[in-house]
Structure 1
Amino acid sequence: MTWSAISYPPLVTIDVGPMTVSPHGIFTAVGFLVGSWFFLRDTRRRDIDDEVIISALTRAAVGAIVGARLVYVLNHIDRYGSPLDWVKIWEGGISLLGGLTGGVLTAWWIARRRGLDFVALVDLAAPWLALGIAVGRIGDIVIADHLGPPTSMPFGFRCPDGAVVGQTVGSPCPPGEVVHLTAAYDLLASLAIFAVMLASRGRLRARRGHAALLVAVLYGVNRFSLDFVRADDRRLGLTGSQWTALVAVIIGVALLVWRWRQGPTPRPTDSRRSQPEPNNNDDEAASRG
């Protein structure tokens, strides 16, 4: 039955003076800030320099934007008439998994340059990443984006009668039809992953890398399953996000099994390392000079 389907007027854009902003972008930013705030709280407890972490987060945000756009364009390359269209991110079109990949790779590069313990940091960030994704999905629900095919489930979304993409809805929506509201599914799944990560933090503390890998596997399984009820371009029967998620799950499971067989890994007693260790040879040379 569809009489109890969810129905509300999507808010696709908001006029702020001469500017027009989207709730999608607003909540994506809010989700990043919420996750970053809790992550900073954890790094402060370990006496890691705020300046170093904030610098890494800022660069990771830029890397996430680049990765989100790049992966989306690659997955929908046939929609673009020229390379100039690839950079028009203000017209919409980003990939969450691409953003996560770009952000993590950028953070790894920054951590390596600054001498930070990347594995320890991503373990700290793991639960807050899931929370940030959940917050970001609120924007997709507000604008009615990432909709799926028609459904008879009572919690589907009823498309407005005047459904116009970019004006009254965020993605194609047959007027009057009830469709899957996949952003809501992803929000609930992300909150469940967040709860699992919080509940298992104590047990995962002695196993380096397990928290980050567990989030990657759980969210990868979620996205692989979710995209079966999501309207998107498909290649060899799967969406671009499903292929990305499948790779993440395979690699994540393999690394989890390998690390688990190695047993618990003792953590360093001093986790304050926020700068590269000094070169003792250079110090000795300087003292002789």
Structure 2
Amino acid sequence: MIPYFSIEFFKIGPLAFYIWGFFLALAFLVGLILSIRAAKRLNIEPQKIIWLIILVYLGAIIGGRLFFILQTPLDFLREPSMIFHVSGGGMMFYGGFSGGLLAGWLYLKKWENRWVLISTLTLIIPLALAIGRLGCFLSNDHLGAVTSLPWAIRWPDGALRHPVALYLILFDLALAGFLWWVSRRHSEKRSDEESCTPARQSLGDGGNVGNAVPHAREILRFAQDDKNSFLLFLTLYSAGRFLLDFTRDISADSHYFGLSTSQWISIILLIFLSLFSINKLTKVSKFDINS
């Protein structure tokens, strides 16, 4: 059992820092440093990356806050000054994600090597998310559902609740590790794949039956493609977020037909991404067979 704690801010001399805002800034700083290092390896000017990260974070903050406000607009209409009070929390992930994605894409759309850069920066996203979630965890910002699990947090009212923010941190770190593993396999096999002949052998005695069905080889190669690494991240995150939201208390978010707003967005994304991926995988399989 984890005892209840909530750290809203800390002081360094006369300066007071909100814990959530501090870790949001730390996530920005770490993401910026790692992105600049990645840019140097890709022979991209650091100044361009700095502007990219600034625009992405500004878009994420605006989008995240806007989506949060739209969940309870009447509360903010009664007290408009709270709209700009973001240092203590009050953001929605998918809103921030949409805002950051839009800002980043508008900036990158004319870059010739944008997909290689996006693939590289995708590895940094879940790590930055995990750092930002530390602020949520230390401030106990997410109200978990009641549970009897031994690692539950005992709240002041005596209820044992899921440590939702801790789950999200661990999930983000696991996702970062998995994406790094996929990226490493891509790097190690790239030279081997380039040396192979494009010709493919027949699938065997099965004839044409199931020729369009993608196999594990095509799935792994699809995931390792620079243009698809971001889609892989988004698919895995949407699936994980859908499941983890069941550990949140139902009173913590707006719910429709038993599911939270984030879960409905996750479902929509998963349907779209699944159809898109299946279509691309089928084309890859047909190409391999006909080559």
Question: TM-score, normalization: structure 2?
Answer: 0.77
Which residue of structure 2 lines up, in the alignment, with residue 282 of structure 1? Answer: none
Counterpart position of 1:105: 102
Aligned counterpart in structure 2 of residue 73 of structure 1, from 52, 69, 74: 69
Equivalent AA in structure 2 for residue 237 of structure 1: G
User: What does residue 176 of structure 1 align with?
Assistant: 158
**Is this contact kept in 2: 1:59–1:106, CA < 8 A?**
yes
| Distance change in 2, residues 1:92/1:190 (3 Å) | closer
**In the alignment, residue 160 of structure 2 is paired with which amino acid?**
V
Shift of 1:186: 0.6
Q: How many residues align?
A: 245
Q: What's the counterpart of residue 43 of structure 1?
A: 39
Are 1:141 and 2:137 matched, yes or no? yes
CA shift at 1:252, angstroms? Answer: 2.4
SS across alignment from 1:14? strand
Which residue of structure 2 lines up, in the alignment, with residue 194 of structure 1?
Answer: 176
Tell me: CA distance 1:235–1:83, structure 2 relative to 1, closer, same or farther (3 Å).
farther
CA contact 1:150–1:178 (8 Å) conserved in 2:
yes
Aligned AA for 2:97? L
Q: State the shift of 1:126 in Å.
A: 1.2
Residue 239 of structure 2 aligns with an amino acid whose one-letter code is V
Write out aligned runs for 1:92-131 (5 A). 92-112=89-109, 114-131=110-127
The answer to whether the Cα contact below 8 Å between 1:73 and 1:86 also exists between their aligned partners in 2 is: no
User: How far off is 1:261 after superposition?
Assistant: 3.6
Counterpart residue identity of residue 268, structure 2: V
Q: After superposition, where does 1:116-265 map in structure 2 within 5 Å?
A: 116-160=112-156, 175-204=157-186, 207-231=225-249, 232-263=253-284
Q: Distance in 2 between matches of 1:83 and 1:122?
A: 39
Deviation at 1:259, TM superposition (A): 3.2
Query: Comparing both chains, which one has the higher relative contact order based on Cα–Cα distances under 8 Å and sequence gaps of 6 or more?
Result: 1
Report which stretch shifted further, 48-57 or 247-256: 247-256
Letter matched to residue 246 of structure 2:
F
How far 1:196 moved relative to its partner?
0.6
**Superimposed CA distance per residue, residues 11-34 of structure 1 (whole angstroms, 9 cap, x where no aligned partner):** 112245665432111112212322
Gaps of 5+ in 1: 161-174, 265-289
Task: Tell me if structure 2 keeps the 8 A contact 1:68–1:96.
Answer: yes
Q: Distance in 2 between matches of 1:27 and 1:116?
A: 33
**Cα separation, partners in 2 of 1:41 and 1:241, compared to 1, 3 Å:** same
Instruction: Find the residue that maps to 1:34 and give its secondary structure.
Output: helix
Deviations 1:66-100 (CA, angstroms, capped at 9, x unpaired): 00101111223343334835623336411122112
Q: CA–CA distance in 2 between the matches of 1:37 and 1:218?
A: 25
What's the TM-score once normalised by structure 1's chain length? Answer: 0.77
The 3 A distance-change label for structure 1 pair 141 and 38 is: same
In structure 2, the residue corresponding to 1:80 is in which secondary structure? helix
Structure 1 residues 37 and 147: alpha-carbon distance in aligned structure 2, compared to 1, 3 A threshold: same
Unaligned runs of at least 5 residues, structure 2: 188-223, 286-291
Letter in 1 for 2:245: D
Instruction: Please tell me whether the aligned partners of residues 130 and 172 of structure 2 are also in contact (alpha carbons under 8 angstroms).
Output: yes
Structure 2 counterpart of 1:126, which letter?
T
Give secondary structure in 2 for the equivalent of 1:149: coil
Kept in 2: contact 1:149–1:229 (CA 8 A) = yes
SS in 1 for 2:145: strand
Q: 1:206-264: per-residue Cα shift (whole Å, max 9, x none)?
A: 61322101110111111111111212221232211112222222222233333334449
Q: Give the C-alpha shift of residue 130 in structure 1.
A: 0.8
| Contact 1:148-1:180 at 8 Å conserved across structures | yes
For the Cα contact (< 8 Å) 1:67–1:102, is it kept in 2? yes
Deviations 1:172-205 (A, max 9, x none): xxx2221111000111111111111011114456
